[in-house]
């Protein structure tokens, strides 16, 4: 049972335009969400996070939106740059009763930004 889902395996956008990566989750107990970026042959690197008490968090060109009622989050990259081309994973954590530090990841979306 996939608790965190990224239904788009790939996304291609033009340089300078907006990239929107989507993620859905099923466990309403999740209370913390993160996005990671991964280049080939490297480990994932943390990008941005959001707590369930917020609906938006910004960090430079990256903004994460959380819609708890829809159990949906999205990552917006504006403007997109060729160096943003990577695999993006969303992840969720929290079981509502204790902080176990467990992260559940989605399948990933490969973003290609064309010059």
Partner 1 sequence: NAGVTQTPKFQVLKTGQSMTLQCAQDMNHEYMSWYRQDPGMGLRLIHYSVGAGITDQGEVPNGYNVSRSTTEDFPLRLLSAAPSQTSVYFCASNQDGLLMGGYTFGSGTRLTVV
What is the contact surface with partner 1 in residues (CB under 8 A)?
Answer: 4, 6, 9, 32, 34, 36, 41-47, 49, 89, 91, 93, 99-108
Measured from the CB atom, the residue of 40 and 115 that comes closer to partner 1 is: 40
What is the C-alpha to C-alpha distance for residues 111 and 13, in angstroms, rounded to an integer?
8
Which residues of 6-108 form beta strands (DSSP E)? 10-14, 19-25, 32-38, 45-51, 56-59, 62-67, 72-77, 86-93, 104-105
**CB 39 to partner 1: min, Å:** 10
Q: Do 25 and 4 contact (CB within 8 A), yes or no?
A: yes
**CB 84 to partner 1: min, Å:** 18
What is the C-alpha to C-alpha distance for residues 36 and 91, in angstroms, rounded to an integer?
8
Measured from the CB atom, the residue of 106 and 113 that comes closer to partner 1 is: 106
- Distance in angstroms between the alpha carbons of the first and the last residue of the chain: 38
Measured from the CB atom, the residue of 13 and 44 that comes closer to partner 1 is: 44
**CB 88 to partner 1: min, Å:** 11
Measured from the CB atom, the residue of 42 and 69 that comes closer to partner 1 is: 42
């Amino acid at each position: 049972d996939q608790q965190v889902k990224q239904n788009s395996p790939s996304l291609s956008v033009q340089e300078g335009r907006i990239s929107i990566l989507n993620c859905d989750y099923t466990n309403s107990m999740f209370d913390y969400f993160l996005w990671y970026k991964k280049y080939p042959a490297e480990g994932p690197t943390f990008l941005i996070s959001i707590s369930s008490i917020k609906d938006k968090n910004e960090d430079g060109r990256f903004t994460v939106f959380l819609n708890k009622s829809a159990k949906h989050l999205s990552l917006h990259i504006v403007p997109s740059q060729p160096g943003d081309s990577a695999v993006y994973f969303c992840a969720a954590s929290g079981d509502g009763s204790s902080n176990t530090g467990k992260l559940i990841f989605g399948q990933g979306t490969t973003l290609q930004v064309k010059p």
